[in-house]
Every structure is written in C-alpha cells, then in structure tokens.
Amino acid sequence: MLYYLFNWLDAQFGLSGAGVFRFISFRASMAGILSLLIALWVGKGIIRWLQKKQIGETIRELGLEGQMQKKGTPTMGGIIIVISILIPTLLFAKLENIYVILMLISTIWMGTIGLIDDYIKVFKKNKEGLKATSKLIGQLLLGAIIAVVIDYTHKISDLPLETNLPILKDKFSYSDLIPGANNAWFIYVPVIIFICMAVTNAVNLTDGIDGLAAGTTAIVGVGLGILAYASGNIKFADYLNIIYVPNSGEVVVFLAAVIGACLGFLWYNGYPAQVFMGDTGSLALGGAIAAVSIIIKMELLIPILCGVFFSESLSVVLQVAWFKYTKKRYGEGRRIFLMSPLHHHFQKLNIPESKITLRFWLVTVILVLATLALLKLR
C-alpha cells in the first residue's frame, strides 16, 4: 500500500525521497525491520493474552529431559508470526503481483488450518487435533491452487513449465515427461501438490524443540531471498544460468517479512521458550516456503536447501516403515532411531536442547551456502 501512496506523492508533488519505494532492496529492508518490530511488540501482548486464557501446551510423557517443564507454556504463538508477515507484505509489496497474492494465500491458508488444529487441541481438549485427512486435504487443495495459477501464468506468457536442477546445467522441463505441447500440467500439478504437502509437514515435524523451526526457517528464508532476487533479475539469472521469472522480485519483500517475523518470534521462542508457535505457525511457514520455492523454480533444490526439514521428515518415514516391516517379519517392531523426528533422537542421547538447536542451525547455514555454491558450479 505504501508503494502506491509514495509513487502517487512522487508523481503529484515530486516528494523528495518518495522514489526510493521503487527499489525492491529498500522495500524488502523496510518489510524485514517492520516485521521484526511487530513480532516483538505484538508478541508480548499475545503471550499475555494466551496466558490469561490458559492456552497452554499439553505434554505427552515421552521420557525426554526437561519435557514436563514445558507443560502449560502458551501455544498458538504462530499468530504472532502470521500477523508479522502479513502487515509488512501488505504495506511494502506490489499487491497486484500474482506471486504476492499467491504467497499471502498460502500463508493464510495453512495458518488457518493450523489455527483450527490448535483450537481443537487446546479448547476441545483433543490431543489429536484436526484429523490428519482434513490436514492433507487442505494441503492438497493449496498445492492444486498454486500449480494451476503458475500453469496459467505460464500459458498466458507463452513460457514452458520448467524448473532449475541442482548441479546440472540444463533446466528440467515437465513436458519432457509426457508427450504433447500442452500436457505438462498432468505431471506438474501432482508434483507441486506433493511438494506442498511434503514441505508443510516437514516444517511441522521440525517444530519440536525451542527455537528450532523458527531459526531454521529464517536461515532458509535468507537463502531463498538470494535465489529469488537472482531469479527476478534478468542479468543475474543469465549469469547464473537459472530460469528468469518475470515479476518475481516482489518475492524478496515477502521473504524479508518472513525472516523478520521468525527472528522476532525467536525473542520469545528461544530456549527456554515463553511461547510455542503451534501448528498455526509451523504450517503457515511451511506453506510460505513451499510457495516461494515453486514460484522461483527452485522446488527441486528443496532437499538440499531445506535439508534439516527434509531429514526430520525422512526420519519419521523411515522409523515408521522399519518398525512396521520388522514387526511383520520378526513379530517385534524395531527402531532405527531412539525416537523420531530426528531432534528427539539427539535428545535421547542426552544432548542439551539448546545445543541441538544451534547445531541444526549451523547445518542449515552450510546447506544454504552449498545450494548457492551448486548454482554457481553449474
């Protein structure tokens, strides 16, 4: 909104300095700063309200050190994150940009599903929360919306449905997998739906110890921001030999808001946490990451860039699959990890929670740098 206001003031009155709002770098910086300040300011009030309403976390006994001390800690703190993302994006991004609209829809859509899940857990005293099938349907529908919108924008611009590949110099075209010039969406839509479901669930699984999901998302957001800026700049895209995505520069403004929101939330969520984000925050962040990755054609780099999220999700899949297989074959279920998701395995090894979080952050930094290096090596 401010972009349009200052452009009008510049055009009408030649207001000194108003033209700076035309620069993505300036608007992204302002969005990040404002997001951080909103999270810090709003967070304190929301935490007090959650404590007053006794909206606390119910803890299942899993035999983890310090686990029961978390009982009663306010949850649903993801509201802080969602508010801190939406307000700066609405103020500093170009709201007619289809990618901005898509990212806002993704964040609100998944945040709402998470809010319903948290509400059922807290107010209805149902530890299971929203049914898994209902969550999956919501994620599936969001993936379908993103895929259809991207497919439509490509058709009207006469652009192929392509994506960047890690390591390899060539781009990957979805039309290579199916004959027919206009049949790529038969492959594209299911792939995008799968990515949306995988990423949102992976971020949700990572939110198990203080500060882990928020800090990891902030680091991933920095990596995605660099990639988004390069994808939206025809010179940088050509230099790095990645797909140029017209009008995708506004993604950087949104990501700056995501990073600011996560850092502001960490003020209260760092060990020992004063508030948990709950599914409201983790699903919203997962939806945002998935949407951004797809928009800037980096969806196939997710396993590297989001390696921590990927490993957390993979640990659960492997644990469940191996347990079922061994139970069927040997009559007794066996485990690969002491506990899944992966961060609980390290907790079982008596590694302090804060150290696990810090190490996962460092691994994420390495993976982000590796992703950027792989693009250059291409």
Could you report the per-residue pLDDT of 341-356, keeping only the tens digit for each? 999 999 999 999 999 9
**Side-chain-side CA neighbours of residue 13 (13 Å):** 8
pLDDT at 314 over 60: yes
Percent of the chain scored above 70 by pLDDT?
89
Confidence of residue 4 (pLDDT cuts 50, 70, 90): low
d(CA 339, CA 345): 5
| Domain span holding position 200 | 2-377
Confidence of residue 218 (pLDDT cuts 50, 70, 90): very high
pLDDT at 110 over 90: yes
Residue 70 pLDDT: 67
Compute the mean pLDDT over every residue in the chain, rounded to the nearest whole number: 88
Query: Residue 13 burial (CB < 10 Å; 0-12/13-18/19+)?
Result: exposed
Confidence of residue 9 (pLDDT cuts 50, 70, 90): low
Residue 240 pLDDT: 87
Residue 177 pLDDT: 76
Residue 69 pLDDT: 61
Separation of CA 276 from chain center:
16
H-run or E-run covering 334: none
Long-range contacts of range 160-164, CB-CB < 8 Å, 24 or more positions apart?
160/184, 161/185, 161/188, 162/243, 162/297, 163/243, 163/297, 163/298, 163/299, 163/300, 164/242, 164/243, 164/297, 164/298, 164/300, 164/301, 164/375
d(CA 270, CA 263): 10
pLDDT at 158 over 80: no
Residue 20 pLDDT: 74
Residue 57 pLDDT: 59
> Judging by DSSP bridges, how do beta strands 172-173 and 162-163 pair with one another?
antiparallel
Residue 175 pLDDT: 78
Cβ atoms 131, 281 nearer than 8 A: no
Residue 66 pLDDT: 57
Cβ atoms 290, 200 nearer than 8 A: yes
178 or 13, higher pLDDT:
178
d(CA 214, CA 237): 29
Strands (E) in the chain, as ranges, are 162-163, 172-173
Q: Running DSSP on this structure, what letter comes out for residue 313? A: H
61: Cβ–Cβ under 8 A, 6 or more apart, which residues?
Answer: 67, 68
pLDDT at 28 over 60: yes
pLDDT at 154 over 70: yes
d(CA 370, CA 126): 42
Rounded average pLDDT over 293-321: 95
The total number of structural domains in the chain stands at: 1
Residue 56 pLDDT: 61
pLDDT at 39 over 80: yes
Rounded average pLDDT over 232-237: 91
Q: What pLDDT digit, counting tens, does each position of 126-146 carry?
A: 777 888 899 999 999 999 999
**Beta-carbon count within 10 A of 195 CB:** 20
Confidence of residue 174 (pLDDT cuts 50, 70, 90): confident
Rounded average pLDDT over 299-308: 94
Tokens matching residue 188:
């594209």
Q: What pLDDT digit, counting tens, does each position of 12-27 carry?
A: 555 555 567 788 889 9
Residue 367 pLDDT: 97
**Beta-carbon count within 10 A of 219 CB:** 22
pLDDT at 10 over 80: no
Query: Residue 244 burial (CB < 10 Å; 0-12/13-18/19+)?
Result: middle
Cα separations in angstroms, 70 against 117, 124, 155, 271: 20, 20, 51, 11
Q: What pLDDT digit, counting tens, does each position of 74-100 carry?
A: 888 999 999 999 999 999 999 999 999
Rounded average pLDDT over 181-189: 80
pLDDT at 63 over 60: no
Confidence of residue 151 (pLDDT cuts 50, 70, 90): confident
